Structure 1
Amino acid sequence: MKNLMLLSFVLCFGIAIGQTKIPSAESQIKTALYASPEMYQDGAKVLGYNEKGELVTLREGNNGLICIANSPKRNGVMVSCYSDKLETYMARGRELADSGKNEAEKRELRKQDIDAGTLIMPKEPAAAYMVTATKEDYDFETGALTNSKMRYVLYKPYMSGAETGLPTKPSAPGMPWLMDADTHRSHIMITPADNN
């Protein structure tokens, strides 16, 4: 009987420790909108997490920008906003991750989808914005961030260095460059230089 009680205690304690607390919807929305240009913040759609850790719509939008709150599984903070023209690409990536696919598998399967025309990508570059911070720079209750870093990305499949005139490797702090050139996931990276 003692062993059964001890086992029950250990299981309950382990479950309690393993659970991740989810910030309020208001806190998640505030944090997610750090990645949005100011002019789009009021009308951006915001996805975040419910108490079960499932991705849900926290706020509907009306301006073509979608923002995603920080994942409760992440050690640290990363929020992003992107053009709704990229939603099928982003949603497919989330679907593949949820099914247990690793990064290489996700990359290959999305390539197959794009090349087959079943995953439609924008014909012109579409923007994504990312903000990262450490968990020490994040206020769980209010959603406020301090000392965050911003990155800008423009996605369009199969861009080349020759077509864009961009280097295909980082060259100088803050200088745009083309990552994954000539592939289905080519994108222009812009990481502002630190001013410190």
Structure 2
Amino acid sequence: MSTFKLTLSLSLIVLSLSSCEAQIPNKEQQIASAVMAAPEEKRADATVMGYNDKNELVIIKLGTNELICLADDPQKEGYNSSCYHKDLEPFMARGRELQAEGKSREEIFDIRAKEAEEGKLILPKNPATLHVLSGANGYYDAEKGEVVNANLRYVVYIPYATQESTGLPIRPLVPGGPWIMDPGTHRAHIMVTPPVDN
């Protein structure tokens, strides 16, 4: 009997912890944490997409500037919010759609490449930036009003750019140095990952 009670108690604790981990933050918390990925002067007027009570990604704040911010997915471990230029939305939305269908990273790359070549997927005409705030142990501290244990990285999408057209290396030459990833493709982008202090 005591073993049964102990097992039952442990099971309830595990279920309680699981539900806490999966709990969706309220709209205000999602907005406050999501915009932390954006430059400070752009935060107030950014559009924010977050999660409703069905864990569906929806617009929770309609902004007036060029940035769209995505709140952290409460169903995933760690922390990851991002803000990107609105011209990247067709590319990003298609990626989310294909991911929801269970496509692999390679399949998503190939499908978007084909659709871009066919003119079905509209890519930015100018360089467009993605700001990512992430960390394996990151979380939003509501009392401090900030995301802790997370780092910013910057990605500048510049479709079909190459090492030759930009003068950038294809790998970082120094910690935090810019480099071009997927050169010559629809997904070509400049990576800038600030070094993390240990």
TM-score (norm 1): 0.86
> Could you list the per-position Cα deviations for residues 86-139 of structure 1 after superposition, in whole angstroms to 9, with x for gaps in the alignment?
00000000111111111111111111111111111112110110001234x424
| Secondary structure of 1:94 counterpart | helix
The CA distance in 2 between the partners of 1:17 and 1:97, in whole Å, is: 27
Match of 2:58 in 1: 56
| Secondary structure of 1:123 counterpart | coil
> Could you list the per-position Cα deviations for residues 56-96 of structure 1 after superposition, in whole angstroms to 9, with x for gaps in the alignment?
11100110100000012211001000000000000000111
> Could you list the per-position Cα deviations for residues 25-65 of structure 1 after superposition, in whole angstroms to 9, with x for gaps in the alignment?
11111111111011111110000001110001110011010
Alpha-carbon distance change, 181 to 44 in structure 1, aligned in 2, over 3 angstroms: same
| Secondary structure of 1:145 counterpart | strand
| Unaligned ranges ≥5, structure 1 | 1-12
Instruction: Please provide the CA RMSD for this pair.
Output: 2.1
Q: 1:165 aligns with which of 164, 167, 191?
A: 167
State, as a whole percentage, how many aligned pairs show the same letter: 43
Q: 2:86 aligns with which of 76, 84, 87?
A: 84
Match of 1:131 in 2: 133
The CA distance in 2 between the partners of 1:176 and 1:54, in whole Å, is: 34
Q: Number of aligned pairs?
A: 184
Q: Which moved more, 1:153-162 or 1:137-146?
A: 137-146
Q: Is the 8 A contact 1:121 1:156 kept in 2?
A: no
Cα displacement (A) at 1:18: 6.5
Alpha-carbon distance change, 41 to 132 in structure 1, aligned in 2, over 3 angstroms: same
Match of 1:3 in 2: none
Letter in 2 for 1:126: A
| Unaligned ranges ≥5, structure 2 | 1-11
The CA distance in 2 between the partners of 1:16 and 1:156, in whole Å, is: 45
Cα displacement (A) at 1:162: 0.6
TM-score (norm 2): 0.85
